[in-house]
């Protein structure tokens, strides 16, 4: 009998309206993501932890919303931060 996972996964997205994105993260960033995942304040449905894919999807939603409200100076700073990642 399989044990029930303590992770809460997102519902499966329809293939017609979604795209698969495979990503590789630096160990430090993955450690930060795991720390967020293990934060008891973020416990969801029936005491489960959000899956990393749910957290990444939410982070992208927040980032897109933040970008849309940035002024010119903030956007310039963001572009410079992106350049440092490349």
Residues shown for the chain: 86
Q: What pLDDT does 6 receive?
A: 81
Q: How many helices (H) and strands (E) does the chain have?
A: 3, 2
Establish if 18 belongs to a structural domain. Answer: no
Q: How many domains does the chain have?
A: 1
Strands 7-8 and 49-50: parallel
CA distance linking residue 44 with residue 25, whole number of Å: 24
Residue 11 in this model has a pLDDT that exceeds 60: yes
Question: Phi/psi of residue 54, each to 5°?
Answer: -65, -45
Establish if 50 belongs to a structural domain. Answer: yes
Establish if 59 belongs to a structural domain. Answer: yes
The strand ranges marked E within 9-72 are: 49-50
34-63 pLDDT, tens per residue? 999 999 999 988 889 999 989 999 999 999
Domain around 30: 25-85
63-80 pLDDT, tens per residue? 999 999 999 999 999 999
User: Are 18 and 11 in contact, with CB atoms under 8 Å apart?
Assistant: no
Residue 1 in this model has a pLDDT that exceeds 70: no
């Amino acid at each position: 009998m399989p044990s029930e996972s303590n992770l809460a996964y997102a519902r499966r997205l329809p293939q017609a309206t979604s795209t698969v994105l495979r990503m590789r993260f630096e160990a430090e960033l993955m450690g930060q993501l795991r720390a967020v995942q293990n934060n008891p304040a973020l416990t969801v449905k029936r005491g489960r932890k959000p899956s990393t894919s749910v957290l990444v999807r939410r982070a992208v939603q927040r980032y897109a919303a933040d970008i849309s409200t940035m002024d010119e100076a903030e956007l310039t700073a963001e572009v410079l931060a992106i350049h440092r990642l490349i």
